[in-house]
Amino acid sequence: MSRLDTAIALTRFGVGARPGEMDRIGSAGRDWLREQIGQVETPQGRDLRTSREAILYFREEYQPRLAALQDGTTEDPERARTELGRLLRSGSAAAILARTQLALTTEAGFVERWVRFWSNHFSVSMTSPPMALLAPTLEMEAIRPHAFGRFEDLLLAAELHPAMLFYLDNASSVGPTSRAGRRRGRGLNENLARETLELHTLGVDGGYSQDDIVALARLLTGWTIGNERLRHRSNQIGRTVFDERIHEPGAQTLLGERISGAAEDKAPTALRQLARHPSTAQFVATKLARHFIADHPDAADIAHIAQAFIDSDGDLAQVANAVITAPGAFQPDPQKFKTPEEYLVSTVRALNLPRLQMRALRASLAALGQVPFRAPSPAGWPDTEAEWGGPDALMKRLDFANELARRVGASARPRERAPEILGPRLEGATALAIARSESAEQGLTLLLMSPEFLRR
């Protein structure tokens, strides 16, 4: 092991080095990664809500104000619109600040990167007023508790979480021949089934057909969010419930396997089968290798991770170990370009800045182009250089770096800071450019825009 291993561990697999962190770890970078596996932290902060609290808040605080604005009974419409926006922003802003603050202060950067990978894998987005409150809760309630457990448990927790059920419309999906379907003429929604197969398990080339999408959609009917309209009990309101009245009865054939039995058990059975499918191991391994190692990972890296997935029956602790022991995991040359959020977090860690303010954080993330829980599609945020390395994106980072350098001023110490946060990854040309800079501010900007810092 070497100091270069530690620099790679902190930057490629972690969330960026803070001053002094590389010295504390020494040459034990690989051990530092292994020791973190299984140690998930929980963000702390004011105004954090559970999914049920978010749903009740939307119903009790937002909807009455919206109704008053729409029916014209509001005395001050402009103020009412401002208040509606504030109500929606309150939940997401608190969650974004809490998770960012954890990333800035954590001693377990690999764990936080691991959680964020799975949060993006099971992406839900703030595409509607209810989702503005619900989207941040999936990471807290489904991802963090299962991040190092079995993949099948993570899959069930994510797919059947209220945020996912609402985002991909399964909450309103009704079996056509169910009791409710026959009476109301409502039908099947295939969104959750399609994305489960394409994005969360088998992958687009994983060997499923349209018939499989329909079969899985039928199996998923009945899984909804408790509400009074369907006469659910008060303690079920706002929570995931199974309602057999809207479930499509009968057996279904998924990927050639007949799934029958108790109505409530059929979707979990189907999801567990998908979790164990060889195509899922290959698809997940490819995404992990692409995220952590290289935009175009070697087949050997993918095979190494996929085999660990298969051999351990989807034990994500063992899969995480396979990621950091893959043949190309510690290749010296950085193959990954930081996403905007990764860039912001690593920059603030490098400067060891005090606690961020909510408004400034949100403005910075928006300016850089990656606000958490606002991915453009269910596929989540891309994480390849082709998506984030263009001229416009680089100009946004330059503006951000210049502003931070102006704020930090003479205390930036770029000559000393560069080896502290990059270690052996610091190239001679970059060190020389920083040393020759006309001011501390200019030197810091050169550091933050250097190829070594932009990449991991």
* Dihedral sign (CA 22, 23, 27, 33): negative
Average pLDDT over residues 62-72: 87
Residues 6+ apart with CB under 8 A from 349: 15, 16, 17, 18, 103, 104, 421
Residues 393, 377: Cα–Cα separation, whole Å = 20
Residue 357 pLDDT: 81
What distance in Å separates the CA atoms of residue 137 and residue 97, rounded to the nearest whole number?
13
Residue of 402, 405, 451 lying closest to 431 (CA atoms): 451
**Bridge partners (DSSP) listed for residue 254:** 257
pLDDT tens-digit series, residues 112-149: 999 999 999 999 999 999 999 999 999 999 999 999 99
Spatial contact of 100 and 92, defined as CB atoms under 8 Å apart: no
Average pLDDT rounded to a whole number, residues 74-87: 87
- In terms of C-beta density within 10 A (0-12 exposed, 13-18 middle, 19 or more buried), how is residue 400 classed? buried
Assign 23 to helix, strand or coil: helix
- Average per-residue pLDDT in the chain? 94
For 405-449, give the DSSP string: HHHHGGGG-HHHHHHHHHGGG--HHHHHHHHT-SSHHHHHHHHHT
Count CB-CB contacts under 10 A for residue 170. Answer: 26
Structure tokens at 384: 């390849």
Q: Where are the alpha helices (DSSP H) in 28-143?
A: 29-36, 51-57, 63-70, 77-105, 109-121, 129-138
CB 340 within 8 A of CB 365: yes
Q: What is the pLDDT of residue 267?
A: 98
**Looking up tokens 């690999």, which residue turns up?**
110
- Whether pLDDT at 186 is above 80: no
pTM reported for the whole predicted model: 0.95
Q: Above 80 in pLDDT, residue 91?
A: no
Mean pLDDT check: name the lowest of 70-84, 277-291, 418-432: 70-84
Q: Confidence class of residue 1 from pLDDT cuts 50, 70 and 90?
A: low
Q: What is the pLDDT of residues 300-309, one digit of tens each?
A: 999 999 999 9
Of 264-268, 280-284, 404-408, the poorest mean pLDDT is in: 404-408
